[in-house]
Chain A
């Protein structure tokens, strides 16, 4: 039960934190259509997060919490501390320039696409239902971000140079997506979590394919940063939570 709760929170946190990051582009996108695109992706991700948080809160409340203070999607998003968040480090990295944002989205969407394909068959019915629903949306995110990586990588000298820099910044965080956390391993054999070992080669193959079309090199032998899934984050997450949680921390129980 605890492992399932942690796993559900991990899936929720991934979507919420990247959704929050992408939403920083609202009103600042390079052109109107792309401003709308990146915020639409945010909306989908936050929607996924809500579904996972709602499920996690129902599990937490089943496990037995005081009745006057039950967990809810809001308490999970707004009242947990940095060490309690289980998102991958990749999702909390700064937006940087447009190239860095779309590359981060491409890495993540390719991962989510493969992950949700597997989770459609999860033995946990609710996780499977959320996966089926989300997969449709992720297909758009993946198509959009792949096109952008190709456009920038194979674009002008400057866009190529900037994309190379983005790879430098982000590649070290991509490996964590495929490193199972302790709670993940506990429910892997029950057929609830997905087997990340199976996803990794497929992810690498697809990245290679898009990179070769984009004239970009695939980095090798890069040290991989990990820890986010177990609550050990880069300094970035604290700033995100400070902004995300400010209203509820300052005015507890405040409603719109």
Chain B
């Protein structure tokens, strides 16, 4: 590997900061908590990522963007590995990420409830409107424009909005 390339984890992280979610371009994959591990050896740079939802089509694009970003900075033999366990949770999203989401108009995920069973899961969750901060909102649909979002409506400012599901 070229000696002038900084192979520290810190440097690689700063490059991955530029890889964003193609469906929510304000969030980097670090904000989302998708990067689990970075392993650098003399012969290889490995980035271990975990998918958000099993069928999320953004994952293939993200995988490719990690490759091209690192390649364009001179890294060679890049391996992007997918790890399913432990399963991704919105609790891994950074505070910075949640702030950016809200600014972008998507309600950030609530912290995940620790005592979770089917009954509690079915209980309605209070979701704050990202525009007017009111909790006077209701769910329109469990599912939204992407796997990770649900559709909500604000009964206060009368605007519909996306909620990044707590997962």
Partners in one complex: yes
Interface residues of A (CB under 8 A from B): 33-34, 36-37, 40-48, 50-51, 113, 125-126, 128-130, 132-134, 136-137, 139-140, 142-144, 146
- Is residue B141 within 8 Å, beta carbon to beta carbon, of the partner chain? yes
- Is residue B84 within 8 Å, beta carbon to beta carbon, of the partner chain? yes
Partner of B84, one of A113, A130, A139: A130
Beyond the given pairs A51-B54, A132-B87, 19 more chain A to chain B contacts, judged by CB atoms under 8 angstroms and listed by A's residue number, are A33-B140, A33-B141, A33-B143, A33-B151, A42-B55, A43-B56, A43-B57, A43-B147, A44-B147, A47-B51, A47-B54, A47-B55, A50-B55, A113-B118, A129-B87, A130-B84, A133-B51, A133-B84, A133-B88
CA distance A167 to B101 in the complex (A): 43
CA distance A143 to B150 in the complex (A): 13
The A interface, classified by DSSP as helix, strand, loop or mixed, is helix
Q: List residues of B (106-162) whose CB comes within 8 Å of A's CBs.
A: 118, 121-122, 140-145, 147, 151
B87 and A133 contacting across the interface, CB-CB below 8 Å:
yes
A46 and B85 contacting across the interface, CB-CB below 8 Å:
no
CA distance A50 to B51 in the complex (A): 12
Q: Report B-chain residues with C-beta under 8 Å of the C-beta of A144.
A: 142-143
- Is residue B53 within 8 Å, beta carbon to beta carbon, of the partner chain? yes
Q: Report B-chain residues with C-beta under 8 Å of the C-beta of A41.
A: 143
Count of chain B residues with a beta carbon within 8 Å of a chain A beta carbon = 24
- Is residue B102 within 8 Å, beta carbon to beta carbon, of the partner chain? no
A47 and B143 contacting across the interface, CB-CB below 8 Å:
no
A36 and B144 contacting across the interface, CB-CB below 8 Å:
yes
Partner of B141, one of A34, A142, A146: A34
Given A37-B141, A46-B55, A47-B56, are A136 and B118 also a contact pair (CB < 8 Å)? Answer: no
- Is residue B167 within 8 Å, beta carbon to beta carbon, of the partner chain? yes
Chain B residue at minimal CB-CB distance from A55: B84
A184 CB, nearest partner CB in chain B, Å: 22
